[in-house]
Structure 1
Amino acid sequence: MLVKFNSSTSGQIMMFAPAARQLLEILHKDCTARGVITSEQLPEAIERLRRAVAGGGSNGTLPPQAGTPAQDDDSNDDRRADGPPIGLAQRAFPLIELLEWTRKEDGYILWEAAKDF
């Protein structure tokens, strides 16, 4: 499932629900189908994400998905990992950028998903 983050002033980004959940939990937001980060909450949200990235979060990566093989196996190339796991900093950077641009123009962020996640 995709989650769309829409800025009232600066554009939109989308990410998969597990990554969005990880970032919204850092911001102490409920992972509901719709939500908002108000203009008053933007500075604290930016700071929380920056601290989490600097501290590495909970090992800095999302947990592996169910059904993912524990080790690479050449017999099934379709299920092999494409590379190293994506870290928290890589997941958070687009949202931090969107939050900063929105804060500069005194806007707000809305997120939307098909259902609670």
Structure 2
Amino acid sequence: MLVTFSCKAHNDVTMFGDIAQSLIKMMEYTTDIPGAIIAEDVELALANLEKNLIGAAAKQCATQEQQQVVDLDDEDEKEPEIGISVRAVPLIELLKAAILAKSYVMWQ
């Protein structure tokens, strides 16, 4: 499943459903699809997202450090995992544009 975020002031942002739902939870909204944030609440949603991303990044760093210790014996090269913080960048930009334009944000 794909989820598309949109607002009047930014191009649409499309993500895989599991990542999108994680980010919606981090904004402290229900993961119902479709969903929306009224213009007055977008700034709070962005603050919640950024706050929760910091916690997620800290957990990911700890997990990666543990994984590196385990993988020292493994000679196969593994691709680095793309963190949720990196995946959130397009949504953060959309939220900031919505704040400047005083626009709602919706996802479907």
Normalised TM-score (structure 1): 0.71
Tell me the distance in 1 between the aligned counterparts of 2:13 and 2:41. 19
Alignment-derived partner of residue 107 in structure 2: 111
The 3 A distance-change label for structure 1 pair 28 and 53 is: closer
Alpha-carbon distance in structure 1 between the residues aligned to 2:107 and 2:60:
23
Deviation at 1:85, TM superposition (A): 1.2
Deviations 1:72-114 (A, max 9, x none): 8x8xxxxx96x111112112111111000111011011100xx
> Paired residues, what number?
97
Q: 1:41: which partner in 2?
A: 41
Cα distance in 1 between the residues matched to 2:13 and 2:102: 18
Q: Check conservation: 1:10, 1:98, Cα contact below 8 A.
A: yes
Indicate how the Cα distance of structure 1 residues 49 and 60 shifts in structure 2: closer, same or farther if over 3 A, else same.
farther
* Matched residue type, 2:107: W
Which residue number in structure 1 is paired with residue 65 of structure 2?
Answer: none
Aligned partners of 2:88 and 2:60: how far apart in 1? 10
Give the letter aligned to residue 17 of structure 2: A
How far apart in 2 are the matches of 1:58 and 1:110? 29
Taking only aligned residues, the RMSD between alpha carbons, in angstroms, comes to: 2.4
More helix by share: 2
One-letter amino acid of the structure 2 residue matched with residue 13 of structure 1: V
In structure 2, how many angstroms separate the alpha carbons of the residues matched to 1:35 and 1:105? 19
Identity of aligned residues (%): 30
Where does residue 25 of structure 2 map in the other structure?
A: 25
Q: Does the aligned pair in 1 maintain the 2:57–2:85 contact within 8 Å?
A: no
Match status 1:94 vs 2:90:
yes
Of 81, 86, 89, 1:85 maps to 81
- Secondary structure (helix, strand or coil) at the match of 1:6 reads strand
TM-score by length of 2: 0.76
